[in-house]
Amino acid sequence: MESKKVSKIGVLTSGGDAPGMNAAIRAVIRTSIYHGLEAFGIMRGYSGMIDDDIFKMESRSVANIIQRGGTILKTARSKEFLEYEGRKKAYENLKKRGIDGLVIIGGDGSFKGAQKFSNEFDIPCIGLPGTIDKDIAGSDFTIGFDTAVNTAVEAIDKIRDTADAHDRLFIVEVMGRDAGYIALHSGIATGAENILIPETKTDIEDLIESLTEKERRQKLVNLVVVAEGDEFGGGNEIAAIIKRRIPSADTRVCILGHIQRGGSPTCLDRLIASRMGFHAVECLINGKHNVMVGIVNNKMHYTPLDNAVKAKQKIPEDWFRIAKILAS
């Protein structure tokens, strides 16, 4: 896209909420104002663009939000934005305010919408990876992942205490419909005996054999961490199989659910969100348009939106080996 001068920037959060989104919003607004640009908040993602729920923001608009979970701009998924007429309506609302650059904080679905919108209406867009799943290629971390996995680790540590007190087998289900990063990282960090994720084929016979062998060794505390998107289902489905195959095991299920989405963001999430938000504005000013801002090896990394929506973050093979060997 031909570079053009940006004077008014809009920011929105789209898709699932993630801790650290507020820190990113704060960085976008304050960096814009520092450079003499006008900044606008767009409520409820693309729905707010269509409904004209857009307002000017000042530096004080983002005071005292860096430590808050969720998003002050709210978030939603918009079916209307999937249609050309919806996107045209959104563009007209931006045009009448003179907004000529957008920062979209969200996941790959949000980036697909941004990519299409930018191509149709020549509005430069910058994507910031905001998702607890860490499933977007082009960044070592996504905004919200570190907080979500630490929430899971804290919960699983507490579950281990009660498992130890009662000699129980606990099946802990964490979020991850299509990606197993939360399960893998929290499982390794808490010493889980088995970790089940969507990226690998679940061998039920291997799981049963492993748990049976541990029971024979009188290993009294057993934890199985399962991502909700595992091919055999989540915690309840896995527990039902284990109860049928190993009836002697005192089996319990704990589904962590949406607790992983909320809460005050960790230091890491605040820092990466602040860096990404700052560089998103710098990209728009410097004519680097239609990219996702990420961090790779602690350096800023820019992935064209076209590539960001096609590629998924793959789990390195050595993570699987680490998980298997350390659980033995």
Return the pLDDT at 300. 96
Mapping DSSP to helix (H, G, I), strand (E, B) and coil, where does residue 91 land? helix
Which residue in 133, 135, 146, 230 is the catalytic one?
Answer: 133
Contact 186, 153 (CB under 8 A): yes
In whole angstroms, what is the distance from residue 80 CA to residue 19 CA? 26
For residue 173, count other CB atoms closer than 10 A to its CB: 25
> Domain residues of the chain, as ranges?
8-144+265-308, 145-261
Residue-averaged pLDDT of the chain: 91
Q: Looking at the domain covering 145-261, what would its CATH class be?
A: alpha beta
Q: Distance of alpha carbon 249 from its chain centroid, rounded?
A: 35
Q: Is 133 a catalytic residue?
A: yes
Each residue's pLDDT tens digit, 82-124: 999 999 999 999 999 999 999 999 988 899 999 999 999 989 9
Give the pLDDT of the chain (328 residues) as one tens digit per residue: 345 689 999 999 998 899 999 999 999 999 999 999 999 999 999 999 999 999 999 999 999 999 999 999 999 888 999 999 999 999 999 999 999 999 999 988 899 999 999 999 989 999 999 999 998 889 999 999 999 999 999 999 999 888 888 878 899 999 988 889 999 999 999 999 889 998 888 888 888 888 888 777 666 668 999 999 888 888 999 999 989 998 888 889 999 999 999 999 999 999 999 999 999 999 999 999 999 999 999 999 999 988 877 667 778 888 888 988 887 6
Q: Does the structural domain 8-144+265-308 have CATH classification 3.40.50.450?
A: yes
Task: Give the CA angle between residues 221, 232, 263 to the nearest 5°.
Answer: 65
pLDDT tens for 174-228 read 998 888 999 999 999 999 988 999 888 888 888 888 888 877 766 666 899 999 9
Q: Do domains 8-144+265-308 and 145-261 have the same CATH topology?
A: yes
Task: Extract the tokens encoding 134.
Answer: 């860490």
SS3 11: strand
Q: What pTM did the predictor assign?
A: 0.92
Residue 2 is predicted with a pLDDT of 44
Distances in whole angstroms, Cα of residue 28 to Cα of each of 8, 54, 244, 255, 325: 12, 15, 53, 35, 43
